[in-house]
Amino acid sequence: MTQQSQIKLESAIVQDPEWWRGAVIYQIYPRSYQDSNADGIGDLLGIAHRLPHVASLGVDAVWISPFFKSPMKDFGYDVSDYCDVDPMFGSLADFDILIATAHRLGLKVMIDLVLSHTSDEHPWFVESRSSKDNPRANWYVWADAKEDGTPPNNWLSIFGGSAWQWDTTRCQYYLHNFLTEQPDLNFHEPQVQDALLQVAKFWLDRGVNGFRLDTINFYVHDAQLRDNPALPAEKRNPIIAPVVNPYTWQEHVYDKNRPENLAFLERLRALMNGYNAAAVGEIGDDLKGLEILGEYTGGDKRMHMSYAFELLSANKPSAAYVKGVMDHLDDVAADGWACWAFSNHDVPRHVTRWQLTDAAARMYTTLMMCLRGSACIYQGEELALPEADVPFEDLQDPYGIRFWPAFKGRDGCRTPMVWESSNQNGGFSSGNPWLPVSHDHLPRNVAEQEQDPTSILHHYRKAIAFRHSHTALQKGDKAEVGVTDTILHFRRIDGDETIFCAFNLSPEPAEMAWPEGDWRQIGIELGSAGPAPDGRLHLGPWQPALALLVKQ
């Protein structure tokens, strides 16, 4: 690449204010991507070394899960210093190398900001808990006990039990929506919001192109600390917490999803606008995820995009299910922008979760690249890695340890990436990996799939390239969403470009009428079918049909 073309590429990274719309984002879990120093834990220099693989997929950006200083009670989601790198991942200088490498490759970098809570070892919390009248006494959510000594209300932690922990120094309870070592910040305190905006500015000034915002709907709590209402058993929908967790027994109207959150999101968006940066929010809610997505991403003053858990759930997406999600999104978030994901670091990998064959995995990949919205793919997804079976004695995740064996936690989707098969660690590390490398993963390693033109790795490249070759798929509207037999079908439209998309979400053949008009079959490299001699569309198991409307 010439110096002139390099400058042009890096300039393009920051100039398009809507680069995020329709973007494909690749999530990296730092502990498990590539170890560069043989300590068994992935790190920032390891990521930088492997970024050419990411760029080869054709994605637009990488999302890097937390690498900040942390006691690692929740593997980096318990931050003790927002503005430094934990030594196990490297240094700020290493992060600068990662940023420069990504930008040279045409990749934008989004980092995972955990703003709803910190570690209990963060200096802010250490000071806050020291007394009731110190300068940061109100930076966290503190409350007196009831007269009988019990917690102030019935709020529950996602990780099990009460969301309140007694502190013997202040003789008060503090709120923790997750582990007891993750106290919640008090967003009703203006200084807290100001401090967190400074954190975002620190990383924007360092060159990041945006953020993934962890638990974005948990930021603000009800200032009156009102009890959550009970949720009848028939309404419980265990999407973000397993059914064995009583967290699903409440309607969480007061411990999260508060309307006061919107003002902070608007302040954050205003800051990001000055950097052409973008954010994707994680909305964790069993009942109203899409409604909240609409609130948080509608217009141009709040977040750019958010994802809910409708396609991260255990529900295998049938044609009717996906149409229902799309229709509901239109009803409650017509002005919003979704970011779809099938897998991430918190849920079992979708190949296992939905029991997919290779053919089905390819079809769902093609479907994702045709959905209106942006898309997140999780490391190893491009290899169709199944969920790893991690024995109890090797578990690291406190969530899984707490609820074993009914719920095995999140370690099964967090095992190390497999790059080649010359050793038992798959090229991830020459040391002892922090989680065992799955023997089921080794045959699906990157090197071997690179040599097989029919591999799913190459299918991901083709599907992403197909998305990028059509503006209708990246940024267009959708119309005429329907279901015929087991076929989901819709149109994507942008200006003069109209694309017909149909997907047989079934292991059995299905058929429907070919759409009226002059259509040209496209997506042949993705297995796309065309009209049969009888004028109908006959789809094989897990087969798509893609066609471009030819203008007369």
The residues annotated as belonging to the active site are 214, 282
| Token pair of 129 as six digits | 């808990």
Q: Using DSSP bridges, classify how beta strands 487-494 and 510-513 pair: parallel, antiparallel or unpaired.
A: unpaired
Which runs of consecutive H residues, i.e. helices, occur in 298-357? 319-332, 350-353
CA 286/CA 296 separation, integer angstroms: 16
CA 333/CA 294 separation, integer angstroms: 4
Amino acid at the residue 43: D
Query: What stretch of H or E contains 98?
Result: helix 92-104
DSSP assignment of 403-418: HTTT---SGGGTSPP-
Q: What is the CA radius of gyration of the chain?
A: 23
Classify 4 in phi/psi space as left (phi over 0), alpha (psi -120 to 50) or beta.
alpha
CA 60/CA 209 separation, integer angstroms: 11
Instruction: Say if residue 50 is exposed, middle or buried (CB neighbours under 10 Å; 0-12, 13-18, 19+).
Output: buried
Are the CB atoms for 362 and 542 separated by under 8 Å?
Answer: yes
CA 377/CA 59 separation, integer angstroms: 9
Are the CB atoms for 83 and 42 separated by under 8 Å?
Answer: no
Query: What stretch of H or E contains 280?
Result: strand 278-282
Are the CB atoms for 77 and 86 separated by under 8 Å?
Answer: no
Amino acid at the residue 375: A
DSSP assignment of 131-166: -SSSTTTTSB-EEPPPTTS--SS--B-TTSSBSEEE
Are the CB atoms for 188 and 220 separated by under 8 Å?
Answer: yes
At residue 419, φ and ψ (nearest 5 deg) are -105, -35
